[in-house]
């Protein structure tokens, strides 16, 4: 099975921002999944383990978001600036060659 990097012709499209964004999205999903899992367990031992994993996922999300904010990759405090940023990235994606 080929990986996503094998499907991209233009290697310049993969940069720190793309990687950080993917990590941020994945960390948000992990937080949601752990939170749901905690509500589905009756075992105190499993609940404790999931809570620890949730805390670690929240900390990872915070670190990634902070990195992105500090490096102007994510504009969490300015919605219009984030929308402009996202639109520019969408334009880049639309111009990317399709393999």
5 located within any domain: no
7 located within any domain: no
Burial of 60 (0-12, 13-18, 19+ CB in 10 A): middle
pLDDT tens digit sequence for 80-92: 888 988 888 888 7
Asked if residues 29 and 35 have their Cβ atoms less than 8 Å apart, the reply is: no
How high is the pLDDT of residue 41? 94
34 located within any domain: yes
Residue numbers of the domain that contains 38: 15-95
Total of domains in the chain: 1
Mean pLDDT calculated for residue range 50-78: 94
Name which of 9-13, 34-38, 58-62, 67-71 the model is least confident about: 9-13
pLDDT classification of 2: cutoffs 50, 70, 90: low
pLDDT classification of 1: cutoffs 50, 70, 90: very low
Q: Is the pLDDT of residue 11 over 80?
A: no
């Amino acid at each position: 099975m080929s990986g996503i990097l094998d499907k991209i012709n233009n290697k310049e499209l993969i940069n720190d921002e793309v990687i950080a964004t993917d990590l941020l999205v994945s960390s948000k999903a992990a937080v949601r999944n752990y939170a749901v899992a905690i509500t589905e367990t009756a075992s105190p031992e499993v609940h404790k383990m999931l809570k620890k994993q949730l805390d670690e996922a929240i900390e990872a999300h915070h670190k990634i978001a902070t990195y992105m904010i500090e490096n102007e990759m994510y504009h969490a405090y300015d919605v219009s600036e984030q929308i402009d940023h996202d639109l520019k990235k969408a334009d880049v994606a639309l111009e990317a060659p399709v393999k």
